[in-house]
């Protein structure tokens, strides 16, 4: 039997190969004696495989899959279905080069799904300002730090704010020492939902905190009672960003 397979490497990239012994080949990859590409990207995980009686047919299929875009490979892995949650959070990346932006309808869908995030007493103080027109897009791009301006050339951009003195407040008095930190906390939840909703729709994102808040307030006429936090780029990736390792759980979690 011949197998065409797809592995997920430790940096999140996908590798496609062919073999006549699938179990042995995966073990060889993880031992560091397989393909050159996987040697520095261990451990690898088998995500998908196809079986073929004919070796030439298998090699032809391998050639075809290797030329697929990442999105096409993921769709193949998931049987044409949307990604499961675990796969979704593994696939999210901060992308710094974009090929195209979502349509208006897709942006509406992404933001509608992001609205499902929880908030303090369901106060829903998050506000989004979407730069869709070429004029607004360029104005907002110029309000970003110079290092980020070229990164968002082909992406849609969303300014995220929250209404002050609502979340964490009762009759304009803070309920505890966190104060408006709760508004920022709720906005973070909504933006996290936005990132995952975008990834689920096949788009990537970049959160940018280096921006001219005063200029952004002028561009969109943002009320003074709203705090401008970040600008989020949304678009189709034009590059394959590497996975950035996370800290060990023991460094950030304590169990008692």
Looking at the structure, tell me whether residues 64 and 145 fall in a common domain.
no
Residue 64 domain boundaries: 2-81
Are 167 and 92 within 8 A, CB to CB? Answer: no
- CA dist 254 and 173 (Å) reads 33
Omega within 30 of 0 (cis) for the link into 43: yes
Structural domain contains residue 180? yes
Looking at the structure, tell me whether residues 107 and 231 fall in a common domain.
yes
Looking at the structure, tell me whether residues 154 and 232 fall in a common domain.
yes
Looking at the structure, tell me whether residues 103 and 216 fall in a common domain.
yes
Locus of tokens 């096949």:
202
What CATH number is given to the structural domain containing 175? Answer: 3.40.109.10
Looking at the structure, tell me whether residues 48 and 107 fall in a common domain.
no
Q: What's the confidence (pLDDT) of residue 36? A: 92
What CATH number is given to the structural domain containing 42? Answer: 3.40.1440.10
- CA dist 141 and 143 (Å) reads 5
Q: What is the pTM of this model?
A: 0.75
Looking at the structure, tell me whether residues 75 and 114 fall in a common domain.
no
Q: What's the confidence (pLDDT) of residue 89? A: 86
Q: What's the confidence (pLDDT) of residue 239? A: 85
What does the DSSP 8-state code read for residue 122?
G
Looking at the structure, tell me whether residues 71 and 163 fall in a common domain.
no
Percent composition of the chain: helix, strand, coil (DSSP 3-state, to 5): 40, 25, 35
Q: Write 31-37 long-range contacts (CB < 8 A, 24+).
A: 37/9
- CA dist 45 and 25 (Å) reads 12
How deeply is 214 buried, as exposed, middle or buried, from its count of CB atoms within 10 A (0-12, 13-18, 19+)?
A: exposed
pLDDT along the chain (256 residues), means of 10: 93 92 95 93 92 94 92 83 76 92 95 97 97 96 97 96 97 95 98 95 95 98 98 92 88 96
Q: What's the confidence (pLDDT) of residue 88? A: 83
- CA dist 101 and 219 (Å) reads 21
Helix (H, G, I), strand (E, B) or coil at 187: helix
Structural domain contains residue 253? no
Structural domain contains residue 248? no
Single residue among 18, 48, 81 that ends a domain in this structure: 81
Structural domain contains residue 88? no
- CA dist 116 and 118 (Å) reads 6
Looking at the structure, tell me whether residues 24 and 122 fall in a common domain.
no
């Amino acid at each position: 039997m011949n197998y065409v397979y797809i592995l997920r490497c430790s940096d999140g990239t996908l590798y496609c190969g062919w073999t006549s012994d699938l179990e042995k080949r995966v073990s060889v990859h993880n031992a560091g004696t397989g393909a050159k590409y996987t040697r520095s990207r261990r451990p690898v995980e088998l995500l998908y495989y196809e079986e073929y009686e004919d070796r030439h047919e298998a090699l032809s299929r391998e050639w075809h899959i290797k030329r697929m875009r990442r999105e096409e490979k993921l769709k193949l892995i998931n049987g044409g279905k949307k990604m499961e949650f675990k796969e979704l959070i593994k696939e999210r990346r901060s992308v710094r080069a974009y090929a195209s932006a979502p349509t208006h309808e897709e942006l509406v869908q992404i933001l509608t799904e992001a609205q499902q995030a929880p908030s303090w007493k369901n106060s829903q103080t998050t506000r989004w300002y979407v730069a869709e027109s070429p004029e607004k897009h360029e104005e907002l791009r110029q309000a970003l730090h110079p290092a980020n301006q070229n990164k968002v050339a082909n992406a849609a951009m969303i300014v995220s704010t929250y209404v002050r003195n609502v979340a964490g407040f009762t009759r304009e008095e803070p309920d505890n020492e966190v104060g408006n930190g709760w508004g920022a906390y709720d906005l973070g939840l909504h933006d996290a939902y936005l990132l995952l909703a975008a990834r689920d729709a096949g788009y990537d994102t970049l959160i940018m905190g280096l921006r001219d808040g005063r200029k952004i307030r002028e561009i969109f006429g943002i009320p003074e009672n709203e705090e401008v936090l970040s600008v989020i780029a949304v678009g189709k990736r034009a590059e394959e960003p590497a996975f950035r390792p996370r800290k060990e759980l023991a460094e950030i979690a304590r169990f008692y």
